[in-house]
Amino acid sequence: MSSRETRCSIRREQPDGSSLFGISKRKRYKTIFPRGAIRKLELSHERVMSLIQQHTQEEIMAKKHYKWVKTSNLYSYFAANTADHYIWALKKCAQMAKQL
């Protein structure tokens, strides 16, 4: 595995063995305060933006740049983990706010 592949690897399992969206993750964040949630979002966003900035535009748009993207490109992964995810999260927040 090249250093670039190592740098971009995505951890699918947590240290405790649970999946990223496993029940322990839900329990862990169920009582988080808004400030804490915002800070976690900021840190996550900074990490993703750092990964994006480590690549050229050609690398981001090239299909099959890494084996793990299969027939896709990095753009698809970065979009899914930034803008598309934020839109989804805002809709979820709006739904939850209506229930309050």
Q: What is the pLDDT of residue 26?
A: 64
Q: For residue 43, which amino acid is it?
A: L
Q: Is residue 52 part of a domain?
A: yes
Q: Is residue 99 part of a domain?
A: yes
Place of tokens 């992964």: 77
Mean pLDDT by 10 residues, the chain (100 residues): 43 50 64 81 88 93 88 89 85 81
Q: Is residue 86 part of a domain?
A: yes
Distance CA 3, CA 54 (A): 12
Q: For residue 34, which amino acid is it?
A: P
Number of domains in the chain: 1
Q: Is residue 13 part of a domain?
A: no
Range of the domain at 70: 32-100
Q: Is the pTM of this model over 0.85?
A: no
Read off the tokens for 44: 């996550």
Q: Is residue 91 part of a domain?
A: yes
Q: What is the pLDDT of residue 58?
A: 94
Q: Is residue 73 part of a domain?
A: yes
Q: Is residue 38 part of a domain?
A: yes
- End-to-end alpha-carbon separation of the chain, Å? 48
